[in-house]
């Protein structure tokens, strides 16, 4: 897979996830946690928006670099760095489950993060 295409896929998916998180953070929280205490409060919604902003930032960096970085080695470094960052985010989600902060890991992160990590590593290393 071409490096720029991989960065565009990863960037677009992360920006879309960020839009979903920021469009209705309370509804997003309810879809994950149900009607638990504190889900409608400002702190939970603001944290969801902050997380969405982080994803938008990573996505925007990938989209920008896909259009402006022509060097193969630089593109590979960006993709591997993105994969490492996504693996850390995914590890944090798994860690929250293992530490008892989540009853179950929602399905979207179980699909999205490993999928994006695979796209990044496949493109960078093949």
State the sign of the Cα–Cα–Cα–Cα dihedral 8, 15, 82, 120.
Answer: negative
In percent, the amount of the chain with pLDDT more than 90 equals 68
- Tokens standing for 35? 């009607």
Range of the domain at 77: 3-125
Q: Assign 3-state DSSP to the chain and report helix, strand, coil percentages, each to 5.
A: 80, 0, 20
CA atoms within 13 A on the CB side of 102: 14
Average pLDDT taken over every residue of the chain:
91
pLDDT at 35 over 80: no
- Tokens standing for 106? 């929602």
* pTM for the model: 0.88
Count the domains in the chain: 1
Q: Give per-residue pLDDT as tens, 60-115.
A: 999 999 999 999 999 999 999 999 999 999 999 999 999 998 888 888 889 999 99
């Amino acid at each position: 897979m071409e490096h720029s295409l991989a960065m565009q896929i990863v960037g677009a998916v992360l920006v879309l996830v960020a839009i979903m998180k920021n469009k209705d953070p309370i509804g997003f929280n309810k879809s994950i946690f149900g009607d638990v205490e504190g889900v409608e409060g400002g702190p939970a919604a603001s944290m969801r928006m902050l997380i969405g902003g982080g994803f938008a930032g990573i996505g925007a960096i990938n989209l920008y670099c896909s259009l402006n970085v022509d060097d193969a080695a630089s593109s590979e470094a960006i993709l591997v760095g993105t994969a490492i960052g996504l693996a850390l985010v995914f590890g944090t989600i798994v860690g929250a489950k293992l530490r008892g902060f989540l009853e179950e890991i929602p399905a979207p992160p179980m699909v999205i993060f490993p999928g994006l990590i695979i796209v990044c590593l496949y493109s960078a290393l093949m």
